[in-house]
Amino acid sequence: MGPEGRRVGPLVRDQEGPEKKIAMRVIGPERFQAIREAADSRGATLTDVLLAAYFRALCRTLYPPEKVPLPLEVSVDMRYLLPEEDNRRIANLSSAEFPAFAWIPDEQFRTTLTRVKEQMDGFTAGYPGLAFILHTSVATEETLRQPEEAFIPRLEHRDLTGENDLVFGDIPVSGAYLICHGEGPVLCTSAFRDTLTLAAGFPDGSRQIMDAIVRELDHFP
């Protein structure tokens, strides 16, 4: 329950494997609509809100040094660069941006969101994700290799509400969401119709991180 008795969403499932744990939560229509409206009223995107909640949850769970910038990776769908007739194709065409925020423990959510929005607006003002593609295209394999402990927390968000693009013959689509993949800590979020699904995958502590994210969203607006 939230501070005003609002239910954020039930647990969908928690999955544990030998190397990675995945926790999932669903935010239902009423609460999701409130989050959307609050984001719009502040000129923020849903990605901005989720990134702010993710960052705050990580800091409240992992306790990084204060006032030291913590980098996060935000996935970018690069199909926006494709011609209009091709940009709906299913393809692994993605890149990333890397905002960094310092942890201020007594900061309110809306202030964190303002800082997040400022950085994300700077990325989207140009060609988001393109710089990282150019970097990786010239980097050597040795340059790109990094130890497991150096993995940067990643956020992947997709809006799946364009349900007309989800066609499986005569079978109607009743639900859709992203699941986590890849190495390192990752939060996958996806919106479909009036539901927001969160899926967090970490080597350890998925449930704690997920619960912290839900609590942060419960304080917005």
pLDDT in tens, 180-205: 766 668 899 999 989 999 998 776 66
Per the CB < 8 A criterion, the answer to whether 72 and 100 are in contact is yes
Contact 22/179 with Cβ under 8 angstroms?
yes
Rounded CA separation 221/216 (Å): 10
Using 50, 70 and 90 to split pLDDT, how confident is the model at 134?
A: low
Fold of 11-81+91-218: Chloramphenicol Acetyltransferase (3.30.559)
pLDDT at residue 148 above 60? no
Predicted confidence (pLDDT) at residue 28 exceeds the cutoff of 70: yes
83 phi/psi in degrees, rounded to 5? -55, 155
Lowest mean pLDDT among 34-43, 103-112, 161-170: 161-170
Q: How confident is the model at residue 173 (pLDDT cuts 50, 70, 90)?
A: confident
Residue 13: the pLDDT is: 41
Question: pLDDT averaged over the chain?
Answer: 78
pLDDT at residue 14 greater than cutoff 70: no
Tokens of 25: 């939560």
Q: What was the pLDDT predicted at 219?
A: 85
31-37 contacts, C-beta under 8 A, 24 or more apart: 31/2, 31/6, 31/7, 32/191, 32/194, 32/195, 32/196, 33/194, 34/221, 35/196, 35/217, 35/220, 35/221, 37/221
219: left (phi over 0), alpha (psi -120 to 50) or beta: alpha
Q: How confident is the model at residue 11 (pLDDT cuts 50, 70, 90)?
A: very low
How far, in whole angstroms, is CA 202 from its chain's centroid? Answer: 14
Say whether pLDDT at 132 is over 50: yes
**Is the pLDDT confidence value at 137 over 60?**
no
Q: Which tens digit of pLDDT belongs to each residue from 52-96? A: 999 999 999 888 899 899 999 998 776 666 676 655 555 666 768
Burial class (CB in 10 A: 0-12, 13-18, 19+), 170: exposed
For the entire predicted model, the pTM comes to 0.80
Residue 14 burial by CB count (10 A; 0-12/13-18/19+): exposed, middle or buried? middle
